[in-house]
């Protein structure tokens, strides 16, 4: 199986620096995700790994073998793009068989592998049909099958669910996890969708402007974001971020916010320091605090967003907008315009340096 390593990879398009020291490792058999917005370098990274880009600097290793300048065909990997890229004039059977026939595989082996892949992907009933007659989900399964039928050591996936509707995206996320579990194949998945990255990736690399800013498990990225950027990328709704300042308070310190103060004695901060205060919508509760270890404030409900089992409240707290998540049975008794008490605990918030955006330890 494939072990992949990128070391300080650079790719420029004229004056545009698409990749600026892109570095990360993908373990054997791992489902690894690249998460970043449009133009952050996801597709260029996959193309660099596949050998489709000429690098300005850095190296790409596969199983500790330098493949930076290796030909595309010899790298032992396959790539699935946003578009399905199927041959519309060929049957599904011939779409599956084409890469094997090109490699000179015997007709008997081709028939065997086509049957295995069709059964694995549950598309046996489509083998004698052509791509335009298939649903979006079926076409995506065929695209996956054509990519894995050659048994690549590494599968690169470039936003493969972008063109599917919400229900199909949900189904295909489960399908990719099933395939990864059953095949044990190393997969590198690029997406701008945090839901895809967090539900499928064993580890996730958050990237920005052509470089990695943090790599960790989905749970760690959510609970311990290393920067304001990661805090905003991971979590739905996104973390609430408010400018604050550290003030001395008796023998300790507090974060001075537009809507109150909260103890910051446990943080490595100094008086007068400018910070960004972060709190997850799920960590804001209804009710008064009652002691110095909680911040209490009054909020006005500006908007409610029912999502089934939970409701997102858009709050106005002394001129600042905060989002809060409540269970539907609790939110059902609240109305737009109503004033409610809210509370934030010391153990629940995050602090970031306002200038650098880095999380304070």
Question: Helix 166-183 and helix 136-148: axis angle, to 10°?
Answer: 20
The answer to whether the peptide bond before residue 218 is cis (omega within 30 degrees of 0) is no
69: three-class secondary structure by DSSP: coil
Task: Express each pLDDT in 257-276 by its tens digit.
Answer: 999 999 998 888 888 899 99
Q: How far apart are CA 103 and CA 105, in angstroms?
A: 6
Q: Nearest 5°: phi and psi at 70?
A: -70, 150
| 338: DSSP letter | -
Query: What does the pLDDT read at residue 2?
Result: 58
Structure tokens of 230?
């990661």
Query: Given this model, what pLDDT does residue 166 score?
Result: 84
* Residue 122 CA, distance from chain mean position: 27
Predicted local distance difference test score (pLDDT) of residue 289: 65
What are the pLDDT digits (tens) for 197-219? 999 999 999 999 999 999 999 99
pLDDT digits (tens, 9 = 90+) for 281-291: 999 999 876 56
Please report the pLDDT score of residue 162 as a whole number.
82
Q: CA 311, 200, 278, 226: dihedral to nearest 10 degrees?
A: 180
pLDDT band at 132 (very low <50, low <70, confident <90, very high): very high
What does the pLDDT look like over 300-327, one tens digit per residue?
999 999 998 999 999 999 999 999 999 9
pLDDT of residue 290: 56
pLDDT at 12: 95
Q: Is it the case that residue 111 has pLDDT exceeding 70?
A: yes
> Which burial class, exposed, middle or buried, applies to 156 when counting CB atoms under 10 A from its CB (0-12, 13-18, 19+)?
buried
Asked if 273 and 328 touch (Cβ cutoff 8 Å), the reply is no
- The H or E element spanning position 198 is helix 194-200
Chain-centroid distance of CA 88 in Å reads 31
E runs forming strands in 184-309: 186-191, 203-208, 211-216, 240-249, 252-257, 260-263, 274-279, 285-286, 294-306
Nearest to 350 by CA among 341, 359, 337: 359
Query: What pLDDT score was predicted for residue 310?
Result: 94
pLDDT mean over 139-161: 89
Residue 161 has pLDDT above 90, yes or no: no
Residue 293, pLDDT above cutoff 80: no
State the residue for tokens 């001395």: 248
Give the bridge partners for 326, in sequence order: 311
- The per-residue pLDDT of the chain, averaged, comes to 91
> What local confidence, expressed as pLDDT, does residue 182 receive?
87
Residue whose structure tokens are 């943090």: 214
Average pLDDT on 241-269 reads: 90
Name which residue leads in pLDDT, 250 or 44: 44
Eight-class DSSP state of 114: H
Residue entry with tokens 């489960």: 174
> Over pLDDT 70: what percentage of the chain?
98
Please choose, from the candidates 108, 91, 102, the residue with its C-alpha nearest in 3D space to the C-alpha of residue 150. Answer: 102
Domains of the chain: 4-233 (3.40.50.300), 240-353 (2.40.50.100)
- pLDDT band for position 169 (50/70/90)? confident
């Amino acid at each position: 199986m494939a072990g992949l390593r990128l070391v300080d990879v650079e790719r420029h398009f004229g004056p545009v620096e698409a990749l600026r020291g892109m570095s990360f490792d993908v373990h054997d058999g791992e489902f690894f995700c690249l998460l970043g917005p449009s133009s952050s370098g996801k597709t260029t990274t996959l193309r660099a790994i596949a050998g489709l880009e000429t690098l300005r600097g850095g190296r790409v290793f596969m199983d500790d073998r330098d493949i930076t300048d290796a030909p595309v065909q010899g790298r032992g990997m396959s790539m699935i793009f946003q578009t399905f890229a199927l041959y519309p004039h060929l049957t599904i059977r011939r779409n599956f068989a084409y890469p094997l026939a090109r490699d000179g595989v015997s007709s008997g082996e081709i028939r065997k592998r086509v049957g295995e892949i069709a059964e694995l992907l549950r598309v046996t009933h489509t083998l004698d049909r052509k791509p335009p007659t298939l649903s979006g989900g079926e076409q995506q399964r065929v695209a996956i099958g054509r990519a894995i039928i050659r048994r690549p050591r590494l599968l690169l996936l470039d936003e493969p669910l972008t063109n599917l509707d919400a229900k199909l995206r949900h189904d295909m996320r489960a399908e990719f996890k099933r395939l990864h579990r059953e095949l044990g194949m190393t997969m590198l998945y690029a997406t701008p969708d945090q839901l895809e990255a967090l539900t499928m990736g064993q580890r996730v690399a958050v990237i920005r402007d052509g470089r990695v800013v943090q790599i960790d498990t989905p749970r760690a990225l959510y609970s311990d974001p290393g920067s304001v950027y990661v805090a905003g990328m991971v979590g739905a709704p996104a973390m609430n971020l408010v400018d604050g300042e550290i003030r001395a308070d008796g023998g300790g310190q507090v974060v001075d916010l537009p809507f109150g103060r909260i103890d910051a004695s446990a943080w490595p901060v100094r008086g007068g320091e400018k910070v960004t205060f972060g709190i997850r919508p799920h960590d804001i509760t209804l009710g008064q605090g009652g002691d110095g270890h909680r911040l209490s404030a009054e909020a006005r409900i500006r908007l409610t967003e029912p999502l089934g089992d939970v409701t997102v409240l858009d709050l106005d707290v002394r001129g600042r907008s905060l989002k809060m998540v409540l269970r539907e049975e609790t939110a059902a008794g609240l109305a737009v315009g109503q004033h409610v008490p809210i509370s934030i605990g010391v153990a629940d918030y995050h602090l970031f340096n306002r200038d650098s955006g880095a999380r304070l330890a």
